[in-house]
Amino acid sequence: MASAPPFANATLLIVDDDPDVLLALKLLLRPLVGQVTTEKYPERLPALLRQTRFDVVLLDMNYQRATNTGHEGLYWLAQLKQLAPSAAVVLMTAYGDIDLAVRALKEGAADFVVKPWRNEKLVTTLAEALGRAGGGVAPAAPRPAGSPAALLGESVAMQAVRRQVEKIAPTDANVLILGENGTGKDVVARLLHQASARAAGPFVAVDLGAVAESLFEAELFGHLKGAFTDARHDRPGRFEAAQGGTLFLDEIGNLPLPQQAKLLAALQNRQVVRLGSNVPVPINVRVVSATNAPLYQLAAEAQFRKDLIYRLNTLEITLPPLRERGDDVLLLARHFAAQYADKYHKPGLTLADSALARLRAHPFPGNVRELQHTLERAVIMAEGPELRAADLLFSPLEAAPAGVAMPSLRLDELEKTAIQRVIDKHQGNISQAARELGITRMALYRRLGKHNI
């Protein structure tokens, strides 16, 4: 039986002047929240709040008449704190307005999310805000439907990981999370934050694999107006946005050597300097980092700084691949099947023995993420009350054999297939594969992460 939605008894108000945003958020949150109300005009808030008590308000910071300054959002935040002091207010803002969001946190906002939002991140943020406001949610926020459920499992390996998380989370030590793609490193990072003394502070995640080298300092350390061509206003970086909380540096293994040196300096000195400034800004953050790259091998080959590893891995957690977790595959499969059956309104959907046998035999190179997507597809396409082996379609992660026509002419698919073929040809030797592809080892590792190989 599917579990109850995480906000089953909560009332939520969404305020945004974009009707498409209101519709998208209502469709996402209606299956999870007891009552969802949307409002396009913030001027109607006083009357609305007199009629209904809301547990959480999701408030946009920018409205058309305010020319994207964010100041109207701050105004309505102040009004909400007076009109509905018990409501948790979560702000929505564009990334360029993070400095305003940080100011809003100081003025009473529970948290903020950045547009365009990630559904899982948004749901978790709302759950955390509701929990801190005493809205009836457990302190550790429930997983939204379809979450990777990284710590769900009874295998010896996962029991060991849970014990590590329980011991490490209350400390303020930096943590390095290792593991293949799809094992749930980001989920463990968030759990470490939620169970720490910094849980009331922000959790700021940065995908370093997606940050251009030229923007690295501006993204992490911030900049002043005029520091470069498109710097139209002062903006704090991710370190400052995470003050008092946790900074999660994902795909740390993709960081080029010059940027490694700059990150190391910030960690050693516990301060950052915005681009265009000479004034250091003290930082108070816990750093959790993660990678699927062989970090110690890269360090042995002078591709990753050993002194930076020492700063990152005060404590270390290695997540096991799904193929080494035994019957956890079946436990997770039932978990995802129940969640997606609830999400897509197919109550009572079960897994046939033939489906369980097929799941148990599959190696899952994409780990928990692949299993999650497999079950979502199966639930959506299911025509009866039972998922059978034939309903399970696994992702074609292996390269096509020589002589077989490629299934796609998309450039990203062609690149992925070429990389997989060369790696298979050289039996996993990254140096030889990179040489044949005409790229550096670091560039190849970045592409391996990008294509989930």
pLDDT value for 113: 83
Residue 114 backbone dihedrals phi, psi, to 5 degrees? -100, 130
Q: Is the dihedral of CA 389, 410, 449, 303 positive or negative?
A: positive
CATH of domain 325-391: 1.10.8.60
pLDDT value for 31: 77
pLDDT value for 420: 76
Percent above pLDDT 70 for the chain: 84
Distance in angstroms (rounded) separating the CA atoms of residues 194 and 187? 10
CB contact at 8 A, 141 and 131: yes
Q: Which amino acid is at 438?
A: G
Instruction: Report the SS3 class of residue 432.
Output: helix
What does DSSP say about strands 222-223 and 235-236: parallel, antiparallel, or unpaired? antiparallel
Residue 172 — pLDDT band, cuts 50, 70, 90? very high
Instruction: Report the SS3 class of residue 280.
Output: strand
Distance in angstroms (rounded) separating the CA atoms of residues 115 and 99? 14
What does DSSP say about strands 246-250 and 203-207: parallel, antiparallel, or unpaired? parallel
pLDDT value for 97: 59
Instruction: For 230-285, list the strands marked E by DSSP.
Output: 235-236, 246-250, 271-273, 280-282
Entry pTM: 0.58
Average pLDDT over residues 444-449: 76
Residue ranges of the domains in the chain?
A: 7-132, 156-318, 325-391, 411-450
Q: Is the dihedral of CA 95, 97, 98, 104 positive or negative?
A: negative
pLDDT value for 359: 93
Fold match between domain 7-132 and domain 411-450:
no
The 10s digit of each residue's pLDDT in 61-99 is 877 554 445 577 888 888 888 888 888 899 887 655 566
Distance in angstroms (rounded) separating the CA atoms of residues 303 and 316? 20
pLDDT value for 8: 62
CB contact at 8 A, 257 and 289: no
Instruction: For 31-120, list the strands marked E by DSSP.
Output: 33-39, 56-60, 88-94, 111-115
Q: At what angle do helices 430-437 and 441-450 cross, to 10 degrees?
A: 90
The 10s digit of each residue's pLDDT in 91-147 is 887 655 566 667 777 778 888 887 778 787 788 888 877 766 544 333 333 444 434
Tokens of 210: 């997606």
Residue 42 — pLDDT band, cuts 50, 70, 90? confident
Q: Could you give the dihedral angle defined by the CA atoms of residues 101, 17, 233 and 99, in that order, rounded to the nearest 10 degrees?
A: 0
Q: State which H helix or E strand residue 288 sits in.
A: strand 286-291
Assigned CATH topology for domain 156-318 = Rossmann fold (3.40.50)
Residue 237 — pLDDT band, cuts 50, 70, 90? confident
The 10s digit of each residue's pLDDT in 390-433 is 889 887 643 333 333 444 556 667 777 778 777 767 666 777 77
b/e map 140-149, b = 16+ CB within 10 Å: ebbbbbbbbb
pLDDT value for 105: 76
pLDDT value for 189: 93
Distance in angstroms (rounded) separating the CA atoms of residues 7 and 58? 14
Q: Is the dihedral of CA 15, 17, 18, 20 positive or negative?
A: positive
Distance in angstroms (rounded) separating the CA atoms of residues 112 and 129? 10
Distance in angstroms (rounded) separating the CA atoms of residues 178 and 316? 8
Whether 319 shows a pLDDT value over 90: the answer reads: yes
Please state, rounded to an integer, the average pLDDT across all residues of the chain.
82
CATH of domain 7-132: 3.40.50.2300
Residue 447 — pLDDT band, cuts 50, 70, 90? confident
Q: At what angle do helices 185-194 and 156-168 cross, to 10 degrees?
A: 40
Residue written as token pair 């293994």:
253
Whether 193 shows a pLDDT value over 60: the answer reads: yes
pLDDT value for 129: 79
Q: Which residue has the higher pLDDT, 99 or 285?
A: 285
CA distances (Å), 359 to each of 151, 334, 391, in order? 19, 11, 11
pLDDT value for 329: 93
Average pLDDT over residues 235-246: 90
Assigned CATH topology for domain 411-450 = Arc Repressor Mutant, subunit A (1.10.10)
Which residues lie closer than 8 Å to 346 by C-beta, 6 or more apart? 340, 379, 382
Half-sphere exposure in the Cβ direction for 266 (13 Å, CA): 25
The 10s digit of each residue's pLDDT in 204-222 is 999 888 888 888 888 899 8
